[in-house]
Amino acid sequence: MTPQRTTRWLNENRALIMLVALFGFMSLVAPNFLSLHNATAILKGASLNGIAAIGFTLIFILGQLDLSIGAVVMLSGMLTIGLQPALGWGGCIAVSLLAAAGVGVVNGLLVVKAKINAFIVTLGTMTVTMGLMYLYSAGGSKAIVDFRFADWLETPLLPLLPPIVIITLGLVGGAELVLRRMRAGRNLLMVGGNPETAWLAGLNRDRYQLVGFVLCSLCAGLAGTLFAAGLSSMTSAAVLGTRTLMTVIASVIIGGTLMTGGKGSVLKSYFSVLMLTALFNGIGCLGYGFEVQIFVNGVILALVVLYEAYAIYRHDLLKGQRPDLLKEIAEGRLSPAVEDEEGDEMHSKDRLPLICLTIVAVVGIVAIAAMYFHHSARSSVMMQPAAVAPSETDSGEVDVYALRGTDGQPYVMRNLKTPVIPPRPADPAALPETDAGHWWDLEYAGWDVEKAPMPNSPGDGPQGKRVVLLKAGDHPYWTAYLNGFKKIAEAHGMETKVFNGNWNLDLQAQQTEQAINERPDMVIFAPVDSTGCTPLLRRLNKAGVPVIASNTIPCDEAMKYCLAWTGPDDWGQFRMLARVFADKMGKTGGYAIVRHMPGSSPFFSRTYAPISELVACAPDMKMLAMDTANLEAEGTMQLVSAWLTKYGDELKGLILPGDGFSMTGALEAVKKAGRRDLVIVAAGNSKTGMDSIKIGDALACSYQSAEGDGATAIHTAARWFSGEKLAPVNYLKKHIITQSDVANYMPAQW
């Protein structure tokens, strides 16, 4: 009996055991993992998911499900930041919690009173809540400039314990106490585990479920509110919500709460949130990317689900068996009867796993073969001399200006012309959205900013310097970015380490702490969100780390805290693109714009740069429609097809947010409608887009070198290490690719 009891004990406490084991393991193998600063970072990083997991545990205990928590996190966060200037902290938190509770009440009533399955109800309210959040934020970010509350939340009062962690611990502890020791909590467990007994005991099941849904939404709302308050800003990029939902589901299950209800523990859920946060942190310390993190996360979840299912399966098999008799059979004292018949059936059943294993094995072989084919095909392409050999200067150093990327263009350019900045209008918000002045703060962010105190350049050159790159996420563009980045880092003799934010502001906030913990000579920061990065850049600046921002331009407030920014001039590029577009259309006719992903900065630049430019330079042109298709080919096809039917010949041109999936989808719609006369321009420049320009399907795309983007960021860092003075804003080369010169930019970088 003892080994069984041990197993049970191990299983009951698996979240804590995994947490301790993982912490021990990472402390041993992962550099910079074991430090007070990093431990605080993990605790802080676990607060968003930790608080949301409290409510989610309760809803699981009740045997229900709530898919809307991610959306509620985002709505509450957005309301908190949006209303803070008007209502103050007390008011805005109250309103956002009320909104969250409102969603909970709707969920609860629909499940309890209308008796619709919770999966369906919350899937529906998730969509509705996201829609409300988008409407409120107009697809952009919100930020406040008052950091006092954020600072208070995030500064440790005692070692390891900033208020945000204390609040989380308090809520977790309180909820656990109620669940274990108080009548209400035990009733909740009974309602979830055995509704009939609960009914017999006189408990109102409906009321408990309703309260459960409201509590779940409230927890999600509070999590979102505190998250947004801690950053003094909020993003509307949907990935924050989806990842929160997925992580919370995973951690509640790993913590041992049953989806069928009746069993669960808030504390264990919190332990597994901590475990997953520490796991991501540790894998980052080891230098691996998001792919390894999500893989390990999946394996852990799969093992837990499998173990739980298997335990029940074993239990069912053994049900009704008498172990003492089995023992006698084994000793030969009792001859088993009716063995043959049973054996036959067992035999036929046992073929199933064999078949499965065979299929899996076959496919494994196919996959490996495929990878082999793929790589051999790749390497034959690589054989071509893509990059020009670096020429060496007199001092023996590599001349980085002579290095060329895979498309044959130089990685970095010398002395690009500084653009002329128009004066800022007195009140940009008062101007209409079609006026360029309305967007002045976004377009010319960072040119005219009084910088916070900056660390001084060591002045001893880039050799041997350690640079941490916080990149925004994974995308083929970013793979090419990293190629350029590493190439130039190598040329300068710099060491690099990369963290991948996976488009998730929460993750990037955690990685900022990790980057500080690494004590690098420089951080290159590619923001997930242009305003959400403000407190992160501020933290880096306070920790005395020099920062160069890259790719997405941070807002004015954030630019205070970085030495410089390098990246594409998205607004400028799209103004040039719009002029090429207008010329081709003879400055007349209707056009439509497919917008970028809500929550990103191109969502605005790639929409309003062309609109305002065309209003100024081709007033006869008419903007017929604009909408986002989330950069998906099918969505874009659907959208453009509907526009083509609705506007017919009135629609003469299309402006696309990207030349990959958006281009593919738009071209399909155009071909299906037989409207090849449509003028199409897009942000570039990928293989798909340039192929379309080459054969004349599209008119033009912008030249945005991904490799150059990465290379320029690290090269600018090198210039700073050598003591050069940096301009606050450093644009990449601007150019519009058309059929006449598209060959110069091929093969494509991505």
Partner 1 sequence: MKKLLSHMGTLGIYGVAVLLLVVGRVVSADFLTAENMLTILNAVALLGVVASGMAFVTYSGHMADLSLPSVMAFSGIITVATLSLGLLPALVCGVLAGMSIGAMNGFVIGRFRANPILWTLAVAFFMEGFMRFTWSNNQVYPDIAPGSAGAAFIGIFRTDIGPLPLVVVVMLLMLGLGQLVMTKTRFGRETRFVGSSRAAAVTSGIHVPRVVMLNFLVAAFAASVAGVLITSMNKLGVFYLGQGYDFKAVTAVVIGGVMLSGGRGNMLGVLGGVLVIGLLTNIMTFMGITSFRQNIVTGIVFIVVVGLQQYRLRAGGRSSE
Which of positions 108-127 make contact with partner 1 (CB under 8 A)? 110, 114-117, 119-121, 123-127
Q: Is residue 650 a contact residue for partner 1 (CB under 8 A)?
A: no
359 contacts partner 1 (rule: CB under 8 A): yes
Burial 251-260 (b: 16+ CB within 10 A, else e): bbbbbbbbee
Verify binding: residue 371, partner 1, rule CB under 8 A: yes
Contact between 750 and partner 1 (CB under 8 A)?
yes
Q: What are phi and psi of 454, to 5 degrees?
A: -110, 150
User: 366 or 421: whose CB is closer to partner 1?
Assistant: 366
Least distance between partner 1 and beta carbon 316 (Å): 8
Q: How many residues bind partner 1 (CB under 8 A)?
A: 94
Distance of closest approach, residue 462 Cβ to partner 1, in angstroms? 26
Give yes or no for a contact between 557 and 536, defined as CB atoms under 8 angstroms apart: no
The residue (of 125 and 232) whose beta carbon lies closer to partner 1 is 125
- 556/411 Cα distance (integer angstroms): 27
450 sits in the region (left: phi over 0; alpha: psi -120 to 50; else beta) called beta
Q: What are phi and psi of 114, to 5 degrees?
A: -85, -10
673 binds partner 1, rule: CB under 8 A: yes
Helix axis angle for 505-517 and 266-285, nearest 10°, is 60
**Stretch binding partner 1 (CB under 8 A), from 5-13, 184-192, 226-234, 345-353:** 345-353
Q: 565, 511, 528, 458: which is closest to 238 by C-alpha?
A: 528
Binding piece for partner 1, criterion CB under 8 A, among 86-94, 202-210, 266-274, 373-381:
373-381
Q: Strand, coil or helix: what is 736?
A: strand
CA distance 692 to 683: 13
Q: Which two tokens stand for residue 643?
A: 């526009």
Residue 289 vs 428, nearer CB to partner 1 = 289
Instruction: Decide whether 673 or 727 has the Cβ nearer to partner 1.
Output: 673
Scanning 144-152, 290-298, 530-538, 599-607 for contacts with partner 1 by CB under 8 A, the matching segment is 290-298
Does 370 contact partner 1 by CB under 8 A? yes
Q: Is 249 in the site for partner 1 (CB under 8 A)?
A: yes
Give the strand pairing for 142-143 and 233-234.
antiparallel
Q: Where are the beta strands (DSSP E) in 445-494?
A: 466-471
The one among 10, 98, 128, 421 contacting partner 1 by CB under 8 A: 128
Cite the DSSP H helix spans in 543-656: 556-559, 570-584, 602-617, 633-647
Token duo for residue 338 = 């009716």
CA distance 359 to 621: 59
Q: Which stretch binds partner 1 (CB under 8 A): 191-199, 207-215, 308-316, 411-419?
A: 308-316
Q: Which of 664, 704, 705, 730 binds partner 1 (CB under 8 A)?
A: 664
- Give yes or no for residue 697 binding partner 1 (CB under 8 A): no
Residue with tokens 């479920």: 209
The verdict on 511 binding partner 1 (CB under 8 A) reads no
Residue for token pair 């369906």: 120
- Taking CB under 8 A as the rule, does residue 309 contact partner 1? yes
Report the C-alpha gap between 341 and 676 in whole angstroms: 71
Q: Could you say which of 625, 726, 727, 746 contacts partner 1 (CB under 8 A)?
A: 625
Find the shortest distance in angstroms from Cβ 32 to partner 1.
23
* Contact region with partner 1 (CB under 8 A), list: 217-225, 271-279, 357-365, 397-405: 357-365
Q: Pick one of 241, 437, 598, 658: the residue that binds partner 1 (CB under 8 A).
A: 598
Q: Rounded to an integer, what distance in angstroms lies between the CA atom of residue 151 and that of residue 163?
A: 10
Q: How far is CA 94 from CA 89, 142, 143, in A?
A: 8, 18, 18
Pick 357 or 388: Cβ nearer partner 1: 357
Residue 743 per-residue DSSP state: G
Strands (DSSP E) contained in 113-230 are 142-143
**Given the rule CB under 8 A, which of 30-38, 158-166, 362-370, 542-550 is the region that contacts partner 1?**
362-370
CA separation for the pair 437, 613 (Å, rounded) = 11
Strand, helix or coil for residue 738? strand
Does position 367 interact with partner 1 (CB under 8 A)? The reply is yes
Q: Which residues contact 205 (CB under 8 A, 6 or more apart)?
A: 191, 195, 198, 199
Residue span binding partner 1 (CB under 8 A) among the ranges 11-19, 364-372, 382-390, 506-514: 364-372
Stretch 252-281 residues interacting with partner 1 (CB under 8 A): 253, 259
β-pairing verdict for 564-567 and 233-234? unpaired
Question: Which is nearer to partner 1, 233 or 502 (by Cβ)?
Answer: 502
Among 479, 722, 738, 739, binds partner 1 (CB under 8 A): 479
Residue pair 467/563 in contact (Cβ under 8 Å)? The answer is no
Q: Is 349 in the site for partner 1 (CB under 8 A)?
A: yes
By CB under 8 A, name the one of 177, 318, 334, 356 that touches partner 1.
356
Residue 336: cis peptide before it, omega within 30 degrees of 0: no
What are the C-alpha distances in Å from 452 to residues 448, 525, 560, 583?
Answer: 13, 17, 5, 44
CB nearer partner 1, residue 21 or residue 309: 309
In whole angstroms, what is the distance from residue 369 CA to residue 391 CA? 39
**Contact letters (x/-) for partner 1, 395-434, by CB under 8 A?**
----------------------------------------
Give, to the nearest 10 degrees, the angle between helix 266-285 and helix 163-181.
150
Q: Which stretch binds partner 1 (CB under 8 A): 48-56, 148-156, 157-165, 664-672?
A: 664-672
Distance CA 87, CA 399 (A): 56
Counting contacts by CB under 8 A, is residue 452 touching partner 1?
Answer: no
- Give the interface segment with partner 1, choosing from 129-137, 144-152, 180-188, 433-441 (CB under 8 A): 129-137
> Which of 442/669 has CB closer to partner 1?
669
- When binding is defined by CB under 8 A, the residue of 408, 428, 458, 476 that contacts partner 1 is 476
Taking the least distance from each CB to partner 1, the nearer of 325 and 369 is 369
- What minimum distance in Å lies between the beta carbon of 103 and partner 1? 11
Pick the piece of the chain touching partner 1 (CB under 8 A) from 154-162, 285-293, 397-405, 577-585. Answer: 285-293
Residue 611, φ and ψ in degrees, nearest 5:
-60, -50
Nearest to 232 by CA among 515, 517, 529, 500: 529
Counting every residue written for the chain, the total comes to 750
The answer to whether residues 112 and 210 touch, using CB atoms and an 8 Å cutoff, is yes
Q: How far is the CB of 72 from partner 1 (least distance, A)?
A: 13
- Token look-up 């402390």 returns 27
- Position 646 contacts partner 1 (CB under 8 A): yes
| Binding window for partner 1 (CB under 8 A); candidates: 128-136, 219-227, 505-513, 699-707 | 128-136
CB 353 → partner 1: shortest distance, Å?
Answer: 7
Amino acid residing at 676? R
Of 29, 36, 318, 369, which one interacts with partner 1 (CB under 8 A)?
A: 369
State yes or no: residue 297 binds partner 1 (CB under 8 A).
yes
Q: Does residue 139 bind partner 1 (CB under 8 A)? A: yes
Q: Does 185 bind partner 1 (CB under 8 A)?
A: no
Q: Between 493 and 635, whose beta carbon lies closer to partner 1?
A: 635
